[in-house]
């Protein structure tokens, strides 16, 4: 595709609007509402979320993961804790999440702090994964350089032989809960006059939320 084609690609957003009176008292309730609408609309993998991290030198990196839990305490995903993202979160737990629900002309942006999930939560979720995924977690030292596809296949076969029945949780496998500090709900509107309503923590214990509107 030429640069010209890209420049001409644009959509007018007019599906709906987002006003202050639509907002739930807290962003998790609001997120659930929009998430349910994303599911109802049949979006492909509505729980796919971009996770942006920055290393100790503030160099950013982003990748997709799957949201696997949501509670008042935050957004949960599972991964390899010694992967690039794991190393970056260990050095700098500040991170951002982006849910790109563009068929609904919506995005949700989260800024927060990641903490490592307790072992019980990791073990419970790991046990729910298909056997192939559990073996793959043993075979893949995520983000490390591998010599070839054959090396990976051999590591998988080794894991298969080592764990004919139960597959234990690998040491380097785990997950994170991102406690939100800022959550923005973005709805596309005609003429690029989009709605952007943002929740920010407030109050003495930072347990309450205030909201504000940002220019699009």
125/186 with CB nearer ligand FMN: 125
Q: DSSP class of residue 23?
A: -
Of 32, 131, 192, 213, which is the active-site residue?
Answer: 192
CB of 49 to ligand FMN, least distance (A): 9
47/113 with CB nearer ligand FMN: 47
CB of 67 to ligand FMN, least distance (A): 8
CB of 48 to ligand FMN, least distance (A): 4
67 close to 77: Cβ distance less than 8 angstroms: yes
- How far apart, in whole angstroms, are the C-alpha atoms of residue 113 and residue 181? 8
- How far apart, in whole angstroms, are the C-alpha atoms of residue 148 and residue 133? 20
85/194 with CB nearer ligand FMN: 85
Binding site for ligand FMN (CB under 6 A): 45, 48, 61, 63-66, 77-80, 83-85, 142-143
Separation in Å, CA 113 to CA 10, 14, 73, 145 = 34, 34, 11, 28
* Annotation marks residue 189 as catalytic: no
Residue 200 parent element (H or E): strand 195-202
Which residues are the active-site residues? 192
């Amino acid at each position: 595709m030429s640069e010209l084609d890209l420049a001409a690609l644009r959509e007018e957003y007019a599906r709906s609007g987002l006003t202050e009176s639509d907002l739930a008292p807290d962003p998790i309730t609001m997120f659930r509402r929009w998430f349910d609408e994303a599911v109802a609309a049949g979006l492909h993998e509505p729980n796919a979320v971009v996770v942006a991290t920055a290393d100790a030198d503030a160099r950013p990196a982003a990748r997709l993961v799957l949201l696997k839990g949501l509670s008042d305490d935050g957004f949960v995903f599972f991964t390899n804790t010694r992967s690039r993202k794991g190393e970056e979160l260990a050095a700098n737990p500040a991170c951002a999440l982006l849910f790109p629900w563009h068929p609904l002309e919506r995005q949700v942006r989260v800024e927060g702090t990641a903490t490592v999930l307790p072992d019980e939560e990791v073990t419970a979720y790991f046990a729910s994964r298909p056997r192939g995924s559990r073996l793959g977690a043993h075979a893949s030292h995520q983000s490390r350089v591998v010599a070839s596809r054959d090396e990976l296949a051999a590591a998988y076969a080794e894991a298969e032989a080592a764990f004919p029945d139960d597959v234990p949780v690998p040491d380097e496998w785990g997950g994170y809960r991102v406690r939100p500090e800022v959550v923005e709900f973005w709805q596309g509107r005609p003429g690029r006059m989009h709605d952007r309503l943002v929740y920010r923590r407030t109050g003495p214990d930072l347990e309450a939320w205030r909201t504000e509107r940002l220019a699009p």
